[in-house]
Amino acid sequence: MLGLKLPTDPRWVNIVEKNIDEILTDHAYCEQKAASTAISLIVSFPEYSELVEEMIALSREEMGHFKMVHDRILARGEKLGRDRKDEYVVQLLKFFPKGGSRTTQLIHRLLYAGLIEARSCERFRLLSEQLEDKELADFYHKLMVSEASHYTMFLKFARKYGAIEEVNSKWQDLLIYEAEIMKNLGTSETIHG
Ligand SMILES: [Fe+2]
Ligand SMILES: [Fe+2]
C-alpha cells in the first residue's frame, strides 16, 4: 500500500488502544505540523503558483483536521497536551543532504512531506480497521481517505517540478531508508512512533 516497503505491525494498535488520550494529542500536532508544512512551502517557494494554490487549500484542510481532533480531546473532558518530539521525522530528515539547488530543495521538501502523508495514511488505515471503538475507527477511516490524496499530490508536484527519473529514483531510495527507520518503531502510542 502507498509504496511503503514495511507495513506497520498491527500490534501497534493494541499499544494505541491503551492510551487514546496520548494518541489524540500526538495526532493533533501531526495535523498542525501538516498545516505548518503547507504554509512554509508557500513562504519558501512563492513563485510556484500552482503549488501555492494547493498549499492554501491544504493548510486549511489540515487545520480542519486539527480542529476535529481537538474537539474530540475536549469531548473526552481533556485538554490538548504539549507537543511531543517526533523521532520518526527527526530520523527521516537525516536522509536529505543539506544545500543543493533551489529546485533540489523543493523536491526534497515535497518528497519528505509526501512520505509523512503516506505513512500517516497507512497508520490511519490500520486504526480504522483494528480499533475496538467503532466510532473512533470510523473517524480514522475518513481521515485515511483524505490523507491518501495528499500523498499523491506531493508526489505529483515533485514529478512536475523535478526531473522525473531523478525524482522517481530518489523516492525509491527514500522508501528503502524509511523502511529501515520503521524497523525500530511501532512501539509507542504516537502516530509515527
Ligand atoms: Fe490531515
Ligand atoms: Fe495530510
Ligand 2 centre to CA of 148 (Å) is 8
pLDDT-derived band of residue 173, with 50, 70 and 90 as boundaries?
Answer: very high
Task: Point out the least confidently predicted range of 81-90, 115-124, 164-173, 183-192.
Answer: 183-192
Residues measured by CB to lie within 5 Å of ligand 2, the ion: 34, 117, 147, 150
Ligand 1 centre to CA of 181 (Å) is 22
∠ CA 103-58-46, nearest 5°, is 35
Ligand 2 centre to CA of 50 (Å) is 18
Per-residue pLDDT averaged across 151-175, rounded? 96
CB 37 within 8 A of CB 113: yes
Grid cell digits, residue 28: 493533533
Ligand 2 centre to CA of 157 (Å) is 15
- Which-ligand-closest: CA of 147? 2
Q: What is the DSSP letter of 8?
A: P
Residue 183 pLDDT > 90: no
pTM of the model: 0.93
- Which-ligand-closest: CA of 119? 2
Per-residue pLDDT averaged across 35-43, rounded? 98
- Which-ligand-closest: CA of 65? 1
Q: Which of 63, 18, 59 is nearest to 40 (CA)?
A: 59
Q: What pLDDT is attached to residue 67?
A: 97
pLDDT-derived band of residue 85, with 50, 70 and 90 as boundaries?
Answer: confident
Ligand 1 centre to CA of 145 (Å) is 10
CB atoms within 10 A of CB 120: 24
pLDDT-derived band of residue 18, with 50, 70 and 90 as boundaries?
Answer: confident
Q: Which domains does the chain have, with CATH numbers?
A: 12-182 (1.20.1260.10)
Ligand 2 centre to CA of 154 (Å) is 10
Per-residue pLDDT averaged across 156-170, rounded? 97
Residue 1 pLDDT > 60: no
Residue 186 pLDDT > 90: no
Task: Point out the least confidently predicted range of 14-23, 122-131, 182-191.
Answer: 182-191
Residue 146 pLDDT > 90: no
- Owner of C-alpha cell 486504526: 127
